[in-house]
Amino acid sequence: MSNIPYEEGLSAFLQAEPTGSCGYASGSDQGRDWLRGWTDSQIAGRLKAEETGIDGEVQP
């Protein structure tokens, strides 16, 4: 079963939307899922940047 708010949060980060763009009520289950998706996408992006380095080369 998919988690639509989570997937929306993932997509929102990739589209450079701020966390304030979440359309779900603050503190609701859907709002928390959306924010978790946004944050997970942010973390994945940072880890990928650390792996590749600034010049795009994979670090040992």
Q: Are 34 and 6 a contacting pair, CB within 8 Å?
A: yes
Give the pLDDT score at 1.
Answer: 66
pLDDT tens digits, residue range 5-56?
Answer: 999 999 999 999 999 999 999 999 999 999 999 999 999 998 888 887 755 5
Angle between helices 4-14 and 29-52 (to 10 degrees): 40
CA distance to 26, 27, 39, 48, 58, per residue, from 34 (Å): 10, 11, 9, 21, 31
Q: How far is 42 from 24, CA to CA, in rounded Å?
A: 19
pLDDT at position 58 over 60: no
pTM of the model: 0.81
For 13, what's the count of Cα atoms within 13 Å in the CB-facing half-sphere? 18
Give the pLDDT score at 2.
Answer: 84
Domain ranges in the chain? 4-52
Give the pLDDT score at 55.
Answer: 55
Give the pLDDT score at 57.
Answer: 52
